[in-house]
Amino acid sequence: MKLLATLYLSLVLGLGASLPLGDLIADGGSHDATLPDRCDGIEFDAITPDETGTTIFFKGAHLWNGFLGPAQPSNEFFHELDEYGHVDAAFRMHNPENKDDHDHVYFFLDDKVFSYYNRTLEAGYPKPLQDEFPGVPSHLDAAVECPKGECPANSVLFFKGHDVHVFDIDTKVVKTKTWSHLPVCTSALRWLERYYCFHGHNFTKFNPVSGEVSGDYPKDARDYFMKCPGFGHGGEYKIPKCGDVKIDAITTDDQGKKYFFAGPIYMRLDTHRDGLHAFRITGTWKEMIHGVDAVFSYNDKLYMIKDDQVYIYKLDAHNTLIEGYPKSLKEELGIEGHVDGAFVCPNKDTVHIIQGTIIRDVDLSATPRVVTRDFPIPISEIDAGLCSQEGVYVFKGSTFYHYDSAFTLAVTKMAPVPENITPAMMGCQE
């Protein structure tokens, strides 16, 4: 089942989960006294993901590969940097229109720039910084990529003091802003479409366009970006047994982002390259304080259902609640009662709503929206439904049912044999 091949539910029971499944091993920092220990609380020189999604942390002559593990000499991986001292700033290029530099990792040392791919220095590097990024000052503090959609254009944010130099990758135009309210960033990181300024052993999340900081910051990086004894913001990480798995809702939006929801948390399933991580629903959709019953995507909007209310959010960088919402189920979809699951199949205008042992079809292109037909289904107590090119998946507890299509689900009188969610699918325990 390709759709769920990357679904790790190991983080569902730990609301503080910020580390990939493979990192759920007690680290405790490095134990070699000759190596720096980031659990002591240090200020990083630079942080960047590489082309595989591994986040690299730099400090002096050492680095850490990923969120766990001890420090290692950086010259074992990037030996050409030795001659120039420590890394000032680094970022992973986001330029899908130009395959020659997309996903390449750039390092900045004094007035020089290095470009690496697969940990190999590209031909012609190092270069003078001005040759590659004209108008950007040398001796930078930090850098981070900002793709179009999150910024007005594919850009790189270069930090020096309180000044932020926004470099347009296509036009090579630099616009300088001053964000005096933001701490001086010694490193910066774009992680799961969020932007973080690291300063000391703390970090502050910020808006990449305005520099706005919302929420309770700064926070200690050891609580979120590494596993350290005595730190962590959500308790110990627990891998549930496959028999304990329960999904409240699951969907794919029109941008190809895959989400699942369980209790107060959600997880993006399409971010496996940068790690799969659990977040509180209210951190992205602040109005959904009681979780969700069902979620579906249609026409670049995300419909979130809780009790008898429908919340509709724009699929933009800020997940903006559309003015006038929430509205009642009756007013928005022409139905009443508890919703167990909902899904829209690719390139279709019908939302299939599961209520008990009935599946109801609502034409989303019609006004007003009313139920066009309903069918009994041979399964009760369904938790969630999902439709993809591979068919329809109906989830019930730790099992799922697979149908070839929504039509098959509606007309089949007998349920298929339920299949158990497996460790290979979801990373749960036998």
Asked whether residue 282 is domain-assigned, the answer is: yes
The whole-model pTM stands at: 0.71
Q: What residues pair up with 385 in beta bridges, in sequence order?
A: 394
Task: Please state, in angstroms and rounded to a whole number, the distance separating the CA atoms of residues 283 and 297.
Answer: 19
171 and 121 in a single domain? The answer is yes
Is 238:251 a contact under the CB 8 Å cutoff? no
> Domain boundary residue among 164, 191, 223?
223
> Domain boundary residue among 223, 258, 286?
223
Is 221:231 a contact under the CB 8 Å cutoff? no
Quick one: pLDDT at residue 423?
67
Asked whether residue 326 is domain-assigned, the answer is: yes
246 and 217 in a single domain? The answer is no
309 and 172 in a single domain? The answer is no
Asked whether residue 174 is domain-assigned, the answer is: yes
What whole-number percentage of the chain has pLDDT above 90? Answer: 65
Residue 151, domain extent: 25-223
DSSP string, 195-229: EEEEETTEEEE--TTT----SS--EEGGGTSS--T
Asked whether residue 4 is domain-assigned, the answer is: no
Quick one: pLDDT at residue 367?
93
302 and 192 in a single domain? The answer is no
70 and 214 in a single domain? The answer is yes
Asked whether residue 232 is domain-assigned, the answer is: no
> Domain boundary residue among 160, 189, 223?
223
Which segments of the chain have a pLDDT < 70?
1-33, 233-240, 272-277, 423-429
48 and 88 in a single domain? The answer is yes
pLDDT in tens, 173-229: 999 999 999 999 999 999 888 899 999 999 999 999 999 998 889 999 998 898 888
Q: What residues pair up with 56 in beta bridges, in sequence order?
A: 48, 65
Q: What is the CATH number of the domain that holds 121?
A: 2.110.10.10
Quick one: pLDDT at residue 360?
96
41 and 153 in a single domain? The answer is yes
pLDDT in tens, 228-241: 888 875 444 455 67
Unique residue bearing structure tokens 């130099």: 165
Output helix, strand, coil percentages for the chain, rounded to the nearest 5. 10, 35, 50
The domain tally of the chain equals 2
106 and 191 in a single domain? The answer is yes
Average pLDDT of the chain is 87
Looking at 118-178, which runs of residues are DSSP E strands? 120-121, 127-128, 142-146, 155-160, 163-168, 174-178
258 and 137 in a single domain? The answer is no
Asked whether residue 10 is domain-assigned, the answer is: no
Give residue 103's region: left, alpha or beta (phi > 0; psi -120 to 50).
left
Task: Please state, in angstroms and rounded to a whole number, the distance separating the CA atoms of residues 326 and 312.
Answer: 7
Asked whether residue 17 is domain-assigned, the answer is: no
211 and 275 in a single domain? The answer is no
367 and 311 in a single domain? The answer is yes
294 and 385 in a single domain? The answer is yes
Asked whether residue 18 is domain-assigned, the answer is: no
pLDDT in tens, 30-84: 445 578 999 999 999 999 999 888 899 999 999 999 888 899 999 999 989 988 8
